[in-house]
Amino acid sequence: MPQRNEEPFVVTGPGIRQADDIKAIVNKHSLVKLRNLNIEGKLEFDYEQPVALFECENVEFAKEFEASGPKGNFTFRNTTFHGGANFYLCELQNLEFDHCNFHGEATFHSVHTPKLWLNGSSFLLDAIFVATQVADLNLADAHFEKAVDFSGAVIGEFNAPRLRSREPIIISWAQFGRNQLAHSLEWATAPDKEEDRLSRLKQVETELLFWKRNFSALGAQRDARIANYEIIRLRQTYFMRPRQIEWWATMLLGLPNAYGTSPYRPLWIALIIIGGFAVLYWWTDPFVVESEVQKYPKKPLLPFALFYSVDTFLPVISVTGVKDWGWKISQKYRWVELLERLLGLAVGTLAAYSLGSYLI
């Protein structure tokens, strides 16, 4: 291993160097910087080869570039990979690409690194990030022309403003969404000037719209609904005021199922309302014979009260049919029945609207 005070060995062009020559230099020095060079031939750093520092600036690799195994810091600036770039099974202290161009397939499969930055880099063919583990992933201004796959990737911080991709990026909201949104909102609300904050918040909204479209294109409708819900919450929190009707409408419509992101919430709300009114009916026994006609007895009272509450909460359909047994609510408690009916209608209507709102 190199000494801490060892200076990197610098190879400066312009000129053409062979990949074998570069590999021999790395074998000898371990800390290497390349500048203004064209590298001919395939450059490969195998699993066992120690590389403490490999830095490239204004370098072109004519053929494949491969690295695997434990490595140090790899930094590429304004570098072009004409062949494939393969970092499969690399464990790096740092991996950074600044305005680089990948003309061949880029493989970061199973890369482990605290930092992976791809700022302003362009990928003309597939980019594979399957099973990558990265604490800090930065895709600011990155541009992908073909498939991008983050299946199974474990991501800590995620930053991707102005990300562009012609094809849907294979990734889920759970892998990055919450952390990215928190980081973006912290950045957006930091300026003191209101116009600066609004400008940044609009950028956050644009990012969320990008991910909503991305998830919809993948067929990941649940993730698309989550992104849509976060867009609505962003607009309500930062672009609306409680004095506006839109603010109240957004809040009320989101209560039943959070615009489709909590699909079982209406069920629990309905069960609580039905159960609460059933207990009330059982406790007060407000049932009287209707028109002096009684087809069936109301005993035992508790299940009868529960069934009556179900049919009242669902005013459009009759589920149990107990209301045809010849019993009705007494005049004293008619408002209780009406209240439950209105609650059922309101919960059902709002849930249906907010569930379908992500399509808008």
Q: Does the residue 215 lie in any domain?
A: no
CA distance 138 to 71: 20
Is pLDDT above 90 for 248? no
148 and 25, same structural domain? yes
- Span 276-281, average pLDDT: 90
149 and 270, same structural domain? no
- Span 256-275, average pLDDT: 72
Q: Does the residue 206 lie in any domain?
A: no
* CA-to-CA separations, 95 to 46, 241, 255, 336, 339, in angstroms, rounded: 17, 44, 44, 66, 62
* Identity at 224, one-letter amino acid code: A
CA distance 286 to 350: 30
Q: Domain ends where: 171, 187, 222?
A: 171
279 and 147, same structural domain? no
What's the confidence (pLDDT) of residue 3? 46
Q: Does the residue 300 lie in any domain?
A: yes
* Identity at 94, one-letter amino acid code: N
Q: 341: domain CATH number?
A: 1.10.287.70
Confidence of residue 110 (pLDDT cuts 50, 70, 90): very high
CA distance 231 to 215: 14
Is pLDDT above 70 for 198? yes
Q: Domain ends where: 171, 193, 223?
A: 171
157 and 50, same structural domain? yes
Is pLDDT above 70 for 352? no
Total count of domains within the chain: 2
Report yes or no on whether pTM surpasses 0.75. no
- Give the list of residues 6+ apart from residue 237 with CB closer than 8 angstroms, or none: none
Query: Long-range CB contacts (< 8 A, 24+ apart) of 12-17?
Result: 12/36, 12/37, 13/37, 13/38, 16/40
313 and 166, same structural domain? no
78 C-beta neighbours (distance < 10 Å), count = 16
142 and 25, same structural domain? yes
279 and 145, same structural domain? no
287 and 148, same structural domain? no
- Residue closest to 163 by CA, chosen among 104, 129, 123: 123
Q: Does the residue 101 lie in any domain?
A: yes
Q: Domain ends where: 138, 155, 171?
A: 171
- The answer to whether 288 touches 328, Cβ cutoff 8 Å, is yes
* Identity at 249, one-letter amino acid code: A
Give residue 320's domain range: 265-356
Q: Does the residue 251 lie in any domain?
A: no
Q: Does the residue 75 lie in any domain?
A: yes
| 167 vs 2, more confident | 167
Q: Does the residue 227 lie in any domain?
A: no
273 and 148, same structural domain? no
- Residue closest to 222 by CA, chosen among 269, 178, 259: 259
What's the confidence (pLDDT) of residue 321? 78
Mean pLDDT of the chain, nearest integer: 87
